[in-house]
Structures are given as structure tokens and as C-alpha cells.
Structure 1
Amino acid sequence: MKIHQFLDATYLKTAKQAAITEEENLQNVIKLAEEAIAHNYKLIMIRSNYISTVRKMLIAAKSTVLIGTVIDFPNGNSTLEKKLTEAQKAINLAADELDFVINYTAFKEGNVALIKNEVISCVALCLKNNKVAKFIIEVAALSNEEIIVISQLVKQVVLDTYGEENAKHVFVKSSTGFFKTENNKPNGATLESIKLISENAKPLKIKAAGGVRDYGMAIKMISLGVDRIGTSSSKEIINKEQNLNQGY
């Protein structure tokens, strides 16, 4: 398996979150971009203020690695207008894929109309600009029933509004990786949550993010129908595959 083409190599910490300087944080992004180019990952997922730097690196290397960024991250509770403004800025910076944090709080409160409007408007902007839209539903904040319902909701809105031919341009994504859970419960993708998303969101694509840190878990996720894996452990995953291919 060419697992590198499933990997969205991810670094989303701000300098403050990483407790380092802005320059040190930039160097972390550059290091990840160099790794992504070397291993031909599918995508590098970064904050929008680093897009221009990474785009220049990819062009210089003649690399096919894509650039993704996050919108309304990590809480997803901004107005639709703010979401779309942030997304347009990312598009103007030449991001290829936009990972929107859906307003899962509003969804939990029963505001289905707001969620429908977000999906319709965000997908419209992405399709107009030939970009991919991903909707982060934040599984750690949802019950299993809520995961099923929101996955079906996003799917149905996309299919009803844009047709099955555009399903390949829209993902349902599990997690931000930044959600604060109680009692050290997983705050990212689990096999259970990904199974529920896969069963209820396809033919939309699926991205497992948060907590996928090794090759074995990555393979299990792919076996459940995942199309992309967001991880800060891309190097460990690809090194394991290389060792297996070499018989180690």
C-alpha cells in the first residue's frame, strides 16, 4: 500500500500553544514541508499564515503535495460570514483544501438549518474555486447518535444541492485534535466513530484526524473506508511501511 498518499501531514499549533517563538514555529512548519516533499505526502495541513511560505517551497521543488488549512478553528462557532471571509482569504493565498470546523455546538442544540446553510455556502465557495471542502464534526463532542445524524445531514445536503458527481470534493472529518475531553477520553478519531461516519457519510469522502499515531491504526482506519488521515506522526507511519516493505 502506498500509504503516503493517504497522509495529511499536520502541524496546527500556534507559537503560543507550542510555547516557542514565532520563528521557531515557522521552522517547524518548514521542516514538515521538507518532509512532505521528500516523502510525497498527499497534503500538508497548516495554519493559513504559513501558506505562502510553503507554497513557494512546493513550487521550487516542483512538488505535487497539496496545501490544506483550517477554517474557524478549533471551535467552529463563528458566524457563517466570518467562516466564508476566512475561507476566501485562504483561497486567495492558494490553499487547495479547506477544513471547516462545523458549528457542532449549534447542531447539538438542534439548529439544523444553520448547519445546512453552512454546508451549502462553504461547499459553494470551494466548488466555485476548484477547492476541496472538509467538514470537521468533532466526534469527541458528540454521542454516537449525533455522529450518525450529522454525517447523514452533511451527506444529504451535499447530494441534494450539488449532486453525487461533486461528492468527491467534500469530506466529513472526525476531529480538530484540540477538543478538551474529560477523564482523558480520546479527543480524536476512534475506530468506532470512523465506522459510524463511513457508514453514514459515503459517498462523501472520509478523513480520520486526531489520535492516529502509528501504522497499525492508520491501516485499520483505511480498512474502514477512510480516504485521508490527518496526523502529526506521518514520518513514523511511513517509516514503518518502508521497514515492512524491506522485511524488517
Structure 2
Amino acid sequence: MNIKQYLDSTYLKTAEQAGINDSESKKINEQFIQEAIDEEFKLIMIRPEMVKMAKEMIVKAKSKVSIGTVIDFPQGQSSLEEKLSEATQAIADGADDLDFVCNYEAFKEGNIDLVKHEILECTRLGLEHHKIVKWIIEVAALNPLQIIQLSALIKSIVMSNFKEDFYNSVFVKSSTGFYKTDNNLPNGATVPTIIMMLENASPLPVKAAGGVRTHQEAVEMIKLGVKRIGTSSAKAIASGEVSNKDY
């Protein structure tokens, strides 16, 4: 198993969230991008405003590292038009993977038509441009039944509207890693939630994101059946070290 080919090395903090200035934030992003190139990870996952820089660095290095970015991150409550606009710009800047935050609050409120429409149209945009699309469902904001229902809904929309050839290009993803839980409960991928997602999203692939910080945890997720792991601890996972990263 080449664990590096499962790892989406991730840095998604704004300068404000990290308590640094824009110049320092850019430098950290450069370091993460270069690390992904050097370590030959599957993908570097960064904020939309950093995609163009990543593309330039990866092309210059003649690297095979893919570029992923997040859309409508982290709340997922923007309009469909805003989601499509942000995704279109990311595509133009060189993104390979588009990780959309699903409007999980609308789903919880029962506004299923809104959620179905955004999943369909955003997925269509990504697939028409030959991109990988991932839908972040934010499992920490959902109860088990809602995790099952939203995973199944995404699967149903994809299978009803796109050919089987595209199924492997649309993921269901666990978490943003930024959701604030009560009492420090897990806010990302756990074994029970990933099992629920795998059972109800299949044949669509699943990405485990949020909280995977060790080699052992990553291997466990892969053995369960996930195809990607989003983590800010990619180098530590690959080398078997212990990470203190928070995503």
C-alpha cells in the first residue's frame, strides 16, 4: 500500500484563523505545496485564493500532485450561484478537485429540493470540466440518521443523472474539520460515521477528513474502504510520526 496516494495534504486556515498576516499565510501555503511535491502526495488541498500559486509551483516542478480546493467553505450556506461562481474561478485557476460544502443546514431543515438542486448543478459543472467533485456533509452537525440520509441522497442524485463512468469522480466527504462541537466531541471522521457513509454512499467513493492524524488511523480508514484521506498531518502519517495538528 502506497499510503501517500490516499493523502490529500490539507491547509485551509485563513491568516486570521492562524493569527498571522497575509504574507506569513502565503509562506505557510507555499511550504505545504512544496512538501506535497517533495513527498509525492496524491493532492494538495488549499483555499481557492492559493490555487493559482499551487498550479505554478507544481507545473514548474513537473510534479503529478493534484490540486484541490474548497467551495463555500466552511458553512456551505451560500447560494447556488455563489457556489458555481467560486467553483468556476477555481477551475480557471487550475484546480483538479472541487470539495463543495453541502448546505447541510438546509438539509436538516427539510429543504431537500434546494440541496438536491445544488448537488446536481455543482456536480454537473465539475464533471463537465473533467474534475473530481467531493461533497462535504459535515458529519459532526448531523445525527446518524441524517448522515445515512444525506449520503444516500448524494448517491441517488449522481446515479440518476450521470453515467456510471462518472461515479468514481464524485465523493462523499465527512467533514470540513472546522465545525465547532460541544464538549470537544470529534468533529470529523470516526469509524462509526465512515462506516455509515460507506454503506450508504456506495458505489460513490468516500473521503475521510477531519481528525485522521496517525498512520494507524489512516490505515484503519483505508481498510474500511475510503479512497481519500484529508489531513494536515500528511507527512507525519506517511512517516509514522505523531502529529499535533488540529485537522
TM range (shorter): over 0.9
Equivalent position SS for 1:183 = helix
CA distance in 1, matches of 2:159, 2:38: 37
Q: How does 1:29-108 map to 2 (within 5 A)?
A: 29-108=29-108
Q: CA deviation at 1:53?
A: 1.1
For 1:9-61, what per-residue CA distance to the aligned partner results, in whole angstroms no more than 9, with x for missing partners?
00000000000111111111111111111111000000111111111110111
Partner of 2:202: 202
Give the Cα–Cα distance (whole angstroms) in 2 for the partners of residues 135 and 87 of structure 1: 13
The 5 A counterparts of 1:1-248 are: 1-240=1-240
Aligned partner of residue 78 in structure 2, secondary structure: coil
Hey, what does 1:245 align to over in structure 2?
Answer: none
CA distance in 2, matches of 1:54, 1:164: 31
Question: Gaps spanning 5+ residues in structure 2: where?
Answer: 242-247
Query: Structure 2: which amino acid aligns with 1:24?
Result: E
- Identity level (%): 54
Cα-Cα RMSD: 0.9
What is the Cα deviation at residue 118 of structure 1? 0.9
Q: Flag as ranges the 4+ runs of structure 1 deviating above 6 A.
A: none
Q: Which amino acid aligns with 1:150?
A: L
User: What are the superposed Cα offsets for residues 95-140 of structure 1, whole Å, 9 maximum, x if unpaired?
Assistant: 0010000000000011111111111101110111111110000000
Cα shift readout 1:182-229 (whole Å, capped 9, x = no counterpart): 011011111110010001101111100000000010011111110000
- Structure 1 unaligned regions, length at least 5: 242-248
Q: How high is the TM-score relative to the length of structure 1?
A: 0.96
> Which amino acid in structure 2 is aligned with residue 203 of structure 1?
P
Give, in whole Å, the separation in 1 of the partners of 2:170 and 2:53.
26
> Does structure 2 conserve the Cα–Cα contact (< 8 Å) formed by 1:15 and 1:21?
yes
Return the alpha-carbon distance in structure 1 between the equivalents of residues 213 and 86 of structure 2: 29
Contact persistence 1:98–1:131 (CA under 8 A): yes
**2:245 aligned partner:** none
Offset at 1:163?
2.6
Deviation sequence 1:154-188 (CA, Å, 0-9, x none): 00110000032210110000000010100110111
Q: How far apart are the structure 2 equivalents of 1:78 and 1:88?
A: 15
Determine the C-alpha separation between the residues in 1 that align with 2:36 and 2:165.
Answer: 30
In 2, distance between residues paired with 1:36 and 1:15? 20
User: What SS class does the counterpart of residue 105 from structure 1 fall into?
Assistant: helix
Structure 1 distance, partners of 2:60, 2:114, is 42
Q: Where does residue 246 of structure 1 map in the other structure?
A: none
- Equivalent position SS for 1:98: strand
